[in-house]
Chain A
């Protein structure tokens, strides 16, 4: 193996041979043992690895309460999703909540509009009936009777 290839491996995968491509591992290790520049490149890669591994985030597996809360939140969210999907299928949809919301919103809007139009029609009908009553009172058919 050439030094340039070893450098590329170290640049990509770091200093831990376990992470190096399996087919090139032995040759790369041999080069680091036999070449001073290769050993130096390995040491540089090891220094960067050590620095990167200083980035530490706590593992949620080490925090039982948080693990349980998050697990419960995820599982209970699917229960809500399951109920929603069941309703969706009952209405003839096979949709997820995010897909179903526009349909539900559309249905609700149509219901409100229908109610408004129906109510408006009813009020107009009432006014018209009232006018008809007044006209009926002044109907010419009744005039002779008034004249008598």
Chain B
């Protein structure tokens, strides 16, 4: 499991040590949420550990910046904690899996944040590239990555969300539709428009790559 691997790396790494929580049988997200609703912080720590990486990843794609993505992830988990008592599992009166709910929170926070005026954070500033070895390759990849990020950020919000969920996060159109409260056909339509816009927006990069 990805989160377990992350934990092992964190525990053995040089930084602050992560204390392993008491080992128990893996609990489902729904069981953890039920515990969190009663104020169980250990259950909350486990849930965060399990979903942090993917949540930051999605938020980063939506915001175009890792620093903003981390902030969104923090805020999203704070909402999970404070609204846990109100959440109902699929089949238990609710209509969504935990991850659907979590990603919907992330999506809404990202859209809200994007509408607010912002200032460039220090974390967003590119670090100097090591010119040694494959420096030119690194620079080129950064430029292409930056061009794709810029083109993504120019997409309308819902197109960007649909593309992030389906293409980058590998979710099905059904799951993306549930997160976005849209039909499968509507998600497909957003994806078509998003990819067309990106193809046009990245035409220059295409030419550059084909010449290179």
Q: List A residues at the B interface (Cβ < 8 Å).
A: 8, 11-14, 19, 21, 47-49, 51-52, 54-62, 64-65, 67-75, 77-79, 81-82, 96
A100 to chain B, nearest CB (A): 11
Q: Is the interface of B mostly helix, strand, loop or mixed?
A: helix
**B interface residue count range (under 10 / 10 to 19 / 20 to 34 / 35 or more):** 35 or more
Contact of A75 among B14, B41, B168, B199 (CB under 8 A): B41
Q: In the bound complex, do residue A48 and residue B199 qualify as a contact, i.e. CB atoms below 8 Å apart?
A: yes
Q: In the bound complex, do residue B56 and residue A70 qualify as a contact, i.e. CB atoms below 8 Å apart?
A: yes
The 9 A-B pairs of least Cβ separation, nearest first, read A65-B15, A64-B13, A61-B6, A55-B148, A64-B10, A12-B191, A61-B53, A64-B9, A54-B144
Q: In the bound complex, do residue B166 and residue A13 qualify as a contact, i.e. CB atoms below 8 Å apart?
A: yes
Given contacts A48-B195, A54-B145, A65-B14, contact A60 B39 (CB under 8 A): no
**Known A60-B6, A64-B13, A78-B78; further 11 A-B contacts with Cβ < 8 A:** A12-B173, A13-B191, A19-B167, A52-B148, A61-B6, A64-B10, A70-B70, A75-B41, A81-B78, A81-B81, A96-B82
Within 8 A of A (CB), among B177-212: 188-189, 191-192, 195-196, 198-199, 202, 205-206, 209
Q: Which residues of B contact A72 (CB under 8 A)?
A: 16, 18
Closest B residue by C-beta to A10: B195
B147 to chain A, nearest CB (A): 8
Given contacts A75-B48, A78-B78, contact A62 B195 (CB under 8 A): no
Q: Render B39-56 as a binary contact track against A, CB cut-off 8 A, 1 for contact.
A: 101001100110011001
Contact of A61 among B3, B168, B209 (CB under 8 A): B3
Contact of A60 among B53, B152, B168, B199 (CB under 8 A): B53
Q: In the bound complex, do residue A68 and residue B10 qualify as a contact, i.e. CB atoms below 8 Å apart?
A: yes
Instruction: Report how far A21 CA is from B188 CA in the complex, Å.
Output: 10
Instruction: Report how far A60 CA is from B209 CA in the complex, Å.
Output: 29
Given contacts A21-B173, A75-B48, contact A69 B152 (CB under 8 A): no
Closest A residue by C-beta to B13: A64
Q: List B residues at the A interface (Cβ < 8 Å).
A: 2-3, 5-6, 9-18, 39, 41, 44-45, 48-49, 52-53, 56-57, 60-61, 66, 69-70, 73-74, 77-78, 81-82, 141, 144-145, 148-149, 152, 166-168, 170, 173, 188-189, 191-192, 195-196, 198-199, 202, 205-206, 209
Q: Which residues of B contact A59 (CB under 8 A)?
A: 53, 57
Contact of A74 among B3, B57, B78 (CB under 8 A): B78
Contact of B205 among A8, A51, A57 (CB under 8 A): A51
Instruction: Report how far A79 CA is from B40 CA in the complex, Å.
Output: 10
Closest A residue by C-beta to B196: A11
Closest A residue by C-beta to B42: A75
Given contacts A55-B152, A56-B141, A64-B6, contact A74 B191 (CB under 8 A): no
Q: In the bound complex, do residue A82 and residue B39 qualify as a contact, i.e. CB atoms below 8 Å apart?
A: yes
